[in-house]
Amino acid sequence: MKNLLLLSNSRMPTTGYLEHAVEAIRETIGGAKRVVLIPYASVVPSEAVAWDATTANVRAALSSLDIEITAIHHYKTAATALAEADAIMVNGGNTFNLLRYLRRNELIVPLRTQMLAGKPYVGWSAGSAICAPTIRTTNDMPIIDPSGLDALGVIDFQLNAHYTNAVPEGWMGETRDQRLAEFVAMNPTMPVFGLPEGDWLRVQGSEITLCGAFPGKWFAAGLDPQLVASGSTLHRPLVA
Active-site position among 20, 73, 140, 199 = 140
Tell me, yes or no, if 125 is annotated catalytic: yes
What is the side-by-side order of every strand in the sheet holding 34-38? 68-71, 34-38, 87-90, 121-124, 3-7, 200-204, 207-211
Rounded Cα gap, residues 34 and 17, in angstroms: 21
Q: How many CB atoms lie within 10 A of CB 193?
A: 28
Tell me, yes or no, if 140 is annotated catalytic: yes
Active-site position among 8, 10, 42, 125 = 125
Torsion angle of C-alpha atoms 122, 133, 200, 79, degrees rounded to 10: 0
Active-site position among 10, 20, 162, 199 = 162
Buried b (16+ CB within 10 A) or exposed e, 145-170: ebeeeebbebbebbbbbbbeeeeeee
Tell me, yes or no, if 235 is annotated catalytic: no
Catalytic residues: 125, 140, 162
